[in-house]
Structure 1
Amino acid sequence: MSKHERWSALLELLAAGGRLEVEEAATTLEVSAATIRRDLDELAEQQMLVRTRGGAIAHGVSYELPLRYKSSRHASEKQRIAAAVADLVADGEVVGLNGGTTTTEVARALALRTGSGLRDAATAPSSASVPAPVGPVLTVVTNALNIAGELAVRPQIKIVVTGGVARPQTYELVGPLTMGVLNEVVLDVVVLGVDGVDPDLGVMAHHEDEAGVSRLFAERAHRVIVVTDSSKMGKRAFARICGLDRIDVVVTDSAISAEATGRLTDAGIKVIAV
């Protein structure tokens, strides 16, 4: 097991229990206690946990895994979801993306698709001796710094980044500056990553500031696509984004239950399970 894998596993254990003992972690991960102590020391230096005598505790009351350590969870499901979403986006559209691991995969899938999508301009028959210049295929508006960083180097994508205050756990920009930019744009489609999907309350996020940004994304978009693995179906989080009546499509994995699919369908939502 590599250091990255150990760190991910340790943070998962800490997220589940809020407290972690060295000996317990060593037994679970089948490594030496000395290795666990070094790992916890390094994680504490990066402010991912608080070191205690004999172990570690989570930061604050509710622990949230940093995005880069959540990215390996349900990885194959998220990649399939992202590929399906890319097929729902047409060239020339303005796409909104909030932050999160699933929307990050969507951004990558869009970049790959638009990269190959340049074939249409490159191979289309033309009577002109000089080919027309190829401009951006998509416009992406995002409040996620990591998504902006990945897409900024893609000439086929025009990237618009909201202002705001960065949250280090998720790399999302939030606050009045973010809202100000979103109030000035119109989106064809928004792809929202969420922390919970409840049949009565709608879609939710752990933090009220992120929920507010996602809510405005949905208000500014003609179509709203929610992307989430099936583990979040039926789950509630602290802050409500919007009701199911605002959602057009949910893209999830094939492990979604028939009951959950039925309730979403009854609410007028198209469910795509991959």
Structure 2
Amino acid sequence: MDRYARWNALLELLAESGRVTVEDAADRLDVSQATIRRDFDQLAQQQMITRTRGGAVANGVSYDLPLRYKSAKHSAEKQRIGEAAANLVVPGTVVGLNGGTTMTEVARALAVRPDLNTSGEGAQLTVVTNALNIANELLVRSRMKIVVAGGVVRPQSFELVGPLGGALLKEVTLDIVLLGVDALDVDLGAAAHHEGEAAMNSLMVARAKRVVVIADSSKLGGHAFARICPIGQVETLVTDSGAPSSVIQSFRDAGVHVVCA
């Protein structure tokens, strides 16, 4: 396990329990206690955790970890989901994309589809996004038309939030929005941890003809702080095969078309 994978695992442990000792972390990650102490010291220097005698405690923002620490989690599932979501996009349309690790995989899958990158009449794809990393992925890998909503950058997700971006989104129409979420529940709908991101995502939903939620199975049935939209506005859910059949059926009963990658 490399350093960044180890840091990701430590942050996940702290997010779950709030506190962890050096001894427990070393046992669970199968590394030396000296390695864990160095990891804790380095994470504390970055203000990701607070060091305590013999261990560490989570900071208040640990529920919303920076994107670089989330990338290793459920990576195989996210790649499959990204490919399945990209297959829903039709050449020549306008697509909305928000940010997140799963949406990065969606962007990569879109970029390698030859039919979305041709220069023929009506073939070029237009992507509207409020995430800087998504725009960069597509810019360096494809010949699509990229439109970036303005706003203030959130370092955790590289997403732009606030009224500057909202003004642009109110003036465009999206054929389809592919929306990464922090939680999706039949009763509570789609939600995000940060209210600014939720507001931007909600505007994308309002401007889209079709709403497709992209979420791995760990996000299903959960809840997050700020609602994006009710389940009734979601046409399709793209998730992985690890989702329990009962959960999948509950979404289908609610009228959502479910694609399991």
Is the structural similarity TM-score above 0.5? yes
Are 2:251 and 1:272 aligned?
Answer: no
Q: Which amino acid aligns with 1:266?
A: D
* Secondary structure of residue in 2 paired with 1:152: helix
Residues 50 and 58 in structure 1, CA contact (< 8 A), matched pair in contact too: yes
8 Å CA contact 1:18, 1:63 repeated in 2: no
Contact 2:191 2:229 in 1 (8 A): yes
The one-letter code matched in structure 1 to 2:54 is G
Contact 1:92 1:138 in 2 (8 A): yes
Q: Partners in 2 of 1:218 and 1:212 — Cα distance?
A: 10
Q: Which whole-Å CA distance do the structure 2 matches of 1:169 and 1:109 have between them?
A: 23
Look up the match of 1:60: 60
Residue-by-residue CA offset, 1:164-196 (whole Å, 9 max, x unaligned) = 111111111111112111112111110111111
Task: Note if contact 2:117-2:124 (Cα within 8 Å) is conserved in structure 1.
Answer: no
Q: How many residues align?
A: 261
Q: Does 1:213 align with 2:200?
A: yes
Q: Pick from 147, 152, 161 the counterpart of residue 160 of structure 1.
A: 147
**1:125 alignment counterpart:** none
1:201 pairs with 168, 173, 188, which one?
188
| Equivalent position of 2:72 in the other structure | 72
Which ranges of 4 or more aligned residues in structure 1 deviate by more than 4 Å? 118-121
Equivalent runs, 1:99-114 vs 2, <5 Å: 99-113=99-113
**Does the aligned pair in 2 maintain the 1:15–1:65 contact within 8 Å?**
no
Matching residue within 250, 258, 263 for 2:237? 250
Cα distance between partner residues in 1 of 2:62 and 2:40:
19
Matching residue of 1:126: none
Q: Structure 1 residues 42, 159: CA separation in 2 closer, same or farther (over 3 Å shift)?
A: same
Q: TM-score if structure 1 supplies the norm length?
A: 0.88
- % identical equivalent positions: 60
Residue 179 in structure 1 maps to residue 166 in structure 2: yes
Give the TM-score of the pair, scaled to structure 2: 0.93
SS at match of 1:14: helix
The 1:108/1:155 distance shift into structure 2, 3 A limit, reads closer
Cα shift readout 1:7-59 (whole Å, capped 9, x = no counterpart):
12111111111222222212222222221121122222222222333322222
Q: Which residue pairs with 1:151 in the alignment?
A: 138
What CA distance in whole angstroms lies between the structure 1 residues aligned with 2:156 and 2:61? Answer: 15
- 1:91 deviates by 1.0
Give the Cα–Cα distance (whole angstroms) in 2 for the partners of residues 154 and 81 of structure 1: 19
CA distance in 1, matches of 2:237, 2:205: 13
Contact 1:135 1:156 survives alignment (8 Å): no
Q: CA deviation at 1:61?
A: 6.2
Q: Residue 73 of structure 1: CA displacement? A: 1.2
Structure 2 unpaired stretches of 5+? none
Change (3 A) 1:159 1:136: farther
